[in-house]
């Protein structure tokens, strides 16, 4: 089958032209080379292509000799980055994988000379597709048929694929969600059988897949499988006590909001998972976002501060993300404040940060003739709140007068 690519936007066409130039350069030196993997899948689905991988029978050391600009990022596994024009391409030698000893990566690889052997080691049929420079599709495992039928099917024996790399189970449900496909029966049975081995995969790799899964159109079905099979073997999720049906979303959601929602729900049954956020090995910024989202959920359910204080304290984008999550998932909250009121309150704030206060601790201590102490932090907090809520003008003379009366 020859792939028609005239519909592509200019950026993608330029990317493919550059990839074909790399392939032509390899062919000029007597080698085979093909575009492979996700790029071919996305082209067949008429989806956006952001990067392209190339596979070849050229050995890594010869790739480095042929191209003037290269980065040998994984030369022991046959991978070299080729810098060509304004693009970079991962060019990998045809290979078969040796024994997987840790359910993560092969102990060694063996370079081979035929494309079929290379494609046979890949995870799913829809990813085991190659494209020649003349746009001919090479499909040894009926990947095009599975694309047409919207099925995720392992290449060869599903259990073998998952025994090699347990992360492939998460990748299966991630693709199911993102592509809104179904998982083929034998592939699904293998996930159920080998689910416990997901514990051998680093949580960082799990989080990468989970973030993508949560943003897919098929998130509900993917999370059904996740909670039926794998969640009990993973940090954070294994400590959930509530009914996991609650956490099988109906709509896409951001990871931070989703994890915050689980924590918020679990707190209602006296299970505090806040400390378990660290299990994900996230940045401090992401951890703070999750904790803030928990407090935002709590505010919507039971507001204990003014609306102006609320929109001042929390990032407006986080507030809006949580708000839309509540609507999408039909979370039961009495008297939910409407988003227009939230946005209006944000716009009406006289200050956005404490730095905008027309006062500081030194001025207060001098004016009130007092030494530093706990009173100062409390005073600044009260001044900040009064200004936010419009009870106090943000002018130094008014603030000092107020402070004198409230010291």
Binding residues for ATP, by number, are: 38, 41, 122, 165, 168, 171, 174
User: Which residues line the annotated binding site?
Assistant: 38, 41, 51, 53, 122, 165, 168, 171, 174
- Cβ-based neighbours of 348, under 8 Å, separated by 6 or more: 308, 390
Long-range contacts of 354-359 (CB under 8 A, 24+ apart): 354/380, 354/384, 356/394, 357/383, 357/384, 357/387, 357/394, 357/399, 358/394, 358/395, 358/396, 358/399, 359/383, 359/396, 359/399, 359/400, 359/403
Residue 93 and residue 57 in contact, taking contact as beta carbons nearer than 8 Å: yes
User: Which residues line the annotated binding site for Mg(2+)?
Assistant: 51, 53
How far apart (Å, rounded) are the C-alpha atoms in residues 46 and 7? 9
Report the sign of the C-alpha dihedral through residues 42, 44, 48, 49, in that order.
positive
How far apart (Å, rounded) are the C-alpha atoms in residues 101 and 172? 21
Q: Which of 37, 44, 42, 4 has its CA nearest to residue 178?
A: 42
Phi-psi region of 104 (alpha: psi -120 to 50; beta: other; left: phi over 0): alpha
How far apart (Å, rounded) are the C-alpha atoms in residues 253 and 45? 23
Q: Which of 195, 183, 258 has its CA nearest to residue 231?
A: 195
Burial of 172 (0-12, 13-18, 19+ CB in 10 A): buried
Q: Which of 50, 54, 49, 22 has its CA nearest to residue 35?
A: 54
Q: Which two three-digit tokens encode residue 190?
A: 């293998």
Residue with tokens 């392209």: 52
- Cβ-based neighbours of 315, under 8 Å, separated by 6 or more: 292
Q: How far is CA 287 from CA 62, 265, 291, 294, in A?
A: 45, 18, 6, 11
User: Which residues line the annotated binding site for CTP?
Assistant: 38, 41, 122, 165, 168, 171, 174
């Amino acid at each position: 089958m020859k792939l028609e690519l005239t519909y592509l936007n200019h950026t993608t066409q330029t990317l493919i032209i550059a990839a074909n130039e790399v392939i032509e350069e390899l062919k000029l030196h007597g080698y085979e080379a093909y575009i492979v993997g996700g790029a071919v899948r996305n082209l067949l689905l008429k989806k956006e292509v952001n990067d392209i991988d190339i596979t070849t029978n050229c050995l890594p050391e010869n790739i480095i000799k042929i191209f003037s600009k290269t980065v040998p990022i994984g030369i022991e596994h046959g991978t070299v980055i080729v810098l060509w024009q304004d693009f970079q391409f991962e060019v990998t030698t045809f290979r078969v994988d040796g024994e997987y000893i840790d359910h993560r990566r092969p102990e060694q690889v063996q370079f081979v000379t035929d494309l079929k052997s290379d494609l046979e080691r890949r995870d799913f049929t829809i990813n085991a597709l190659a494209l020649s420079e003349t746009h001919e599709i090479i499909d040894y495992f009926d990947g095009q048929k599975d694309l047409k039928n919207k099925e995720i099917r392992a290449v060869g024996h599903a259990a073998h694929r998952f025994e090699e790399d347990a992360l492939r189970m998460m990748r299966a449900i991630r693709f199911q969600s993102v592509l809104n496909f179904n998982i083929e029966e034998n592939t699904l049975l293998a996930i159920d059988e080998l689910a416990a081995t997901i514990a051998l995969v680093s949580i960082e790799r799990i989080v990468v897949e989970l973030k993508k899964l949560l943003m897919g159109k098929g998130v509900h079905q993917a999370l059904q499988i996740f909670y039926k099979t794998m969640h009990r073997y993973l940090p954070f999720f294994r400590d959930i006590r509530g009914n996991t049906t609650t956490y099988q979303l109906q709509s896409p959601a951001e990871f931070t909001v989703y994890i915050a929602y689980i924590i918020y729900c679990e707190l209602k049954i006296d299970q505090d998972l806040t400390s378990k956020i660290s299990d994900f090995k996230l940045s401090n910024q992401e951890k703070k976002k999750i904790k803030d989202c928990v407090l935002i959920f709590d505010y919507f359910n039971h507001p204990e501060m003014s609306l102006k204080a609320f929109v001042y304290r929390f990032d407006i984008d986080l507030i809006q993300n949580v708000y839309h999550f509540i609507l999408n998932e039909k979370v039961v909250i009495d008297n939910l404040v409407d988003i227009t009121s939230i946005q209006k309150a944000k716009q009406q704030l006289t200050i956005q940060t404490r730095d905008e206060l027309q006062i500081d601790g030194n001025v207060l201590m001098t004016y009130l003739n007092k030494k530093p102490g706990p009173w100062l932090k409390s005073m600044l907090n009260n001044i900040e709140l009064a200004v936010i809520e419009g009870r106090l003008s943000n002018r130094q003379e008014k603030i000092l007068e107020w402070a004198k009366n409230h010291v």
